[in-house]
Every structure is written in structure tokens, then in C-alpha cells.
Amino acid sequence: EWNGPPHRFQGRLQVSLSKKGIEDARNLSREIIQPDQIITSPAQRCIQTIDALYGKKIKQIVKDERLWEIDNGYFQGKLLEEVKNLHTSELKIWLNKPSSIRPGGGELLEEMLYRVYSCLFELINNIDENINALVVTHAGPIRVMLFNTLGLHLDNFHKMKVDNLEFYKLVK
């Protein structure tokens, strides 16, 4: 619910999936393969997504702090309109040149890229090629990894939409 209007900054807050989010994940579960291993952000919404997708069928679930969403500092939990009213110039920079600012005093996009990349690099280099692994994370980490892979500047961060339950395949 926080992803839609009126748009609230989630960041690292522990927010539950909505009933629709759980239903969407359950519907998707019929279409995806069963992984041998899951590596996930420790966010409650990620854990609930895994539960909705697979129930208790997965034996190996690893929570990795490096997969968390961006730390939005004091923006977290606030509506976009609230941040616009309280921190106008800071929000303007975040929306137009996001690589140059720590939103709400939180984390730089480059710092998020580094921590997510280190997690995925470790996974890809240490996993058996016959193992199907699923990484469950957030839109922010997905965007910065895609930008890095495609050679795009992080200032395009807000120009790419990553939908809930969107999948990307990593190949060694």
C-alpha cells in the first residue's frame, strides 16, 4: 500500500504486505520455479512474499542485511507531500540528481550499489551452477544493480520503474 498514492517513503521500515500483495504473490507462485535456495532482505515484506510464494517448502532461506532497501533517513515513514513541505530543496535534489545526496540524511545510491553488489557477487561466485537461487529484495537495489550492469548513471534512478514481484535473471 505504501508504494501507491499518496506515496510514502518506506526505506528500511518494517512494513507488512497488503492483502493484495499477498494475493498477488500467491497467484504468481504457480508460474515460477521452486528455488533450491533463497537469499532475502530481512524486511518483513520480503519474508511475507516468500511465505506467500512458497509456504514452508523452502529449507534454506538466508537473510542478508546487504539486500535492504535504501536508508532514507528521516524521510522514512513520511508522505511525499510531507517531505516536499518540510524539506523542499533536499527533495528536489533527491528527485533530480539522486546520486549526489543522502535522502533524509540516509544512504548514498553508490553505497547501496556497493553493498548489494557485494552480496550478489558473493552469491554468484560461491553457488554451484546446478543450484537455482532466488534473491528477494526491493526496487532500489534492483535499480542500482541494473544501472551498474547497463552502464547507466545513477541520476536516472527515478526514471526506471520496478514493479512489485518483478523478476530479473542473473547469469554467471
- What is the tens place of the pLDDT at every residue in 44-83? 999 999 999 988 777 778 999 999 999 999 999 999 999 9
pLDDT at 4 over 80: no
What is the mean predicted confidence (pLDDT) over 126-130?
Answer: 85
* 3-state secondary structure (DSSP) of residue 84: helix
**Residue 43 grid coordinates:** 524486511
84 CB contacts (<8 Å, ≥6 apart)? 91
Q: What is the DSSP letter of 33?
A: P
pLDDT at 172 over 70: no
Question: How far is Cα 54 from Cα 78, in angstroms, rounded to an integer?
Answer: 32
